[in-house]
Each structure stands twice: as C-alpha cells, then as structure tokens.
Structure 1
Amino acid sequence: MTEPLDHGPFFHGTKADLRAGDLLTAGFNSNYRPEVVMNHIYFTAVANGAGLAAELAPGDAEPRVYEIEPTGEFENDPNVTDKKFPGNPTRSYRSVEPLRVVGEVTDWTRLTPEALAAWHERLAHLRSEARGEIIN
C-alpha cells in the first residue's frame, strides 16, 4: 500500500441523499465501467473532483458532494496515480473500509451542460475501445 499524500479534508461525490454519520461502502457498480463491481470506495481531497464524480454518477437525482472521513486505511488511487499521472495530482484515494459522511458541501463548481456532455462522450469513447480499465 502506497503512503497517501493527503490527510484531509476529503470528499465523495454521489447522487445519493446522505446525512452526517451515514457510511459509504464498496461493493457498488463503477460510475465509469458499470459492469464492474468496485472492491473499493473512492474519494478525493478536491471538492470539485468529487463534484465531477457526482455529475457523472448514473441517475437523475441532483449531484451532491459530501465531506467524508475514512474509517480505516486508504491508499492513493492507482487508476489515476503513477499509472496515468506521476504522483497524485488529482489527490484521489480509495479504501476497502467505509467512509463516514461528515456533512454536505455546497460550494463546489458545477460543470456546464457542454462540459458534462463532453465528459460523457469521452467516457463512452473509452468504453467502446475497451480502454480505461479499472484497477479494482
């Protein structure tokens, strides 16, 4: 396990309506490769990065960003660290342990409809080329 580069605060983006004290756990389908059930729960030290994940999450509910605290060990997300970018510039992490919701964050920047459409197009392109494999 690689030593994480951050110590918080941390954020998780989702379309779920959560409350302080709720626990987020692994075992759900990936937002990016829906056929993959994730062994980890992902989070970031960048509120706008969590917002991007929330906006890309499936469903019609409003995207939400929550401040969270890991309940156990966590590591740098190997899907974006070193494999794709040196170090951890996205400040992305993952854990097999639950994340506890501290509270909702509302001061993150929403994507424009055009930017969101471009992200969806990029993800569809990665899926069609069988690229974007996830280290689970």
Structure 2
Amino acid sequence: MAEPLDEGPFFHGTKADLRVGDLLMPGFRSNYRPEVTMNHIYFTSRLDGAGLAAEIIPGEAPPRVYEVEPTGPFEDDPNVTDKKFPGNPTRSFRSAAPLRIVAERDDWTRLTPETLAWWRHRLTEMRDESAEIIN
C-alpha cells in the first residue's frame, strides 16, 4: 500500500444522520452498486467532493458532509486514481479501518437541480455499463 500524500482534513458524504464520535465502518452495501458489499470506507480531502457524493446517493434523506479522521491506514482510491484520472486529482481515499466523525460541515457547495439530475443519470448509465468497483 503506497503512502497517500494527503494529510487532510478529510470528509465523507452520506445521507446518514450521525454524531461526533460515531464511527463509519466498511462492510455495508455500496451506495452506487447495492449488490456489492464494500470492504472499505471511502473519503476525500475535498469538501465539495464529499458534498457531491452525499447529494447523488440514492434516497430521500438530506445530504450530509462530515469531517472525519481515519483510525487506521488508508490508500488512494483505486477506483479513480490512475484508472480514471492520472494521479489522485479527486483526492479520494479508502480504508479498511473505521473513520471517526469529528464534525458535521455545512459549508460545501450544493448542486443545482440540473447538475444533480445529470449526475444521477450518469450513475444509471455507469450501472448499465457494468462499471467495475475495485473492492
């Protein structure tokens, strides 16, 4: 596992209503491919990237962004790093260890309804294309 070059702060986007001190754990179904149980928990050092993830997740609950701290080792997210983008411009990471919630953030940029519809359509297309998740 290569050492990520980012020191944070780190963020996780979700629709879950969590509290400071809660742990985000791997082992749940993917938000984007529910037939896949995830071996890792994903996060980013881009606040608006976490906001994007929170908004495009299926479900009616409000999107939330949490500042998190990894409790164990982590690596660059192989689903985007070099596979889709050279390097790690999305500053996305994953860990098999839990993430601890340190704060809820509300200072991220919300998507316009048109942009949200585009992203949701794109996710449907990716599912239809059988886009692989490196788990």
| TM bin (shorter chain) | over 0.9
Structure 1 residue matching 2:114: 3-state secondary structure:
helix
Whole-Å separation in 2 of the counterparts to 1:70 and 1:104: 15
Match of 2:69, as an amino acid?
E
Whole-Å separation in 2 of the counterparts to 1:28 and 1:118: 26
Q: CA RMSD in A?
A: 0.8
What residue in structure 1 maps to residue 124 of structure 2? 124
What residue in structure 2 maps to residue 102 of structure 1? 102
Q: CA deviation at 1:58?
A: 2.3
Where in structure 2 are the equivalents of 1:18-97 lying within 5 Å? 18-97=18-97
Q: When the two structures are superposed, what TM-score results if normalisation uses the length of structure 1?
A: 0.96
Q: Is the 8 A contact 1:5 1:91 kept in 2?
A: no
What residue in structure 2 maps to residue 13 of structure 1? 13
Whole-Å separation in 2 of the counterparts to 1:97 and 1:39: 10
Whole-Å separation in 2 of the counterparts to 1:58 and 1:30: 11
Whole-Å separation in 1 of the counterparts to 2:58 and 2:25: 17
Whole-Å separation in 2 of the counterparts to 1:74 and 1:51: 21
Q: Percent identity?
A: 74
What residue in structure 2 maps to residue 134 of structure 1? 133
Gaps of 5+ in 2: none
Per-residue CA deviation, residues 4-55 of structure 1 (Å, 9 max, x unaligned), is: 1201100000011111100000011112212111000000000100011111
Structure 1 residue matching 2:121: 3-state secondary structure:
helix
Where has structure 1 moved over 2 Å in runs of 4 or more? Answer: none
Whole-Å separation in 1 of the counterparts to 2:82 and 2:24: 26
Gaps of 5+ in 1: none
Structure 2 residue matching 1:127: 3-state secondary structure:
helix
Structure 2 residue matching 1:42: 3-state secondary structure:
strand
Q: Is the 8 A contact 1:5 1:88 kept in 2?
A: no
Q: CA deviation at 1:3?
A: 1.4
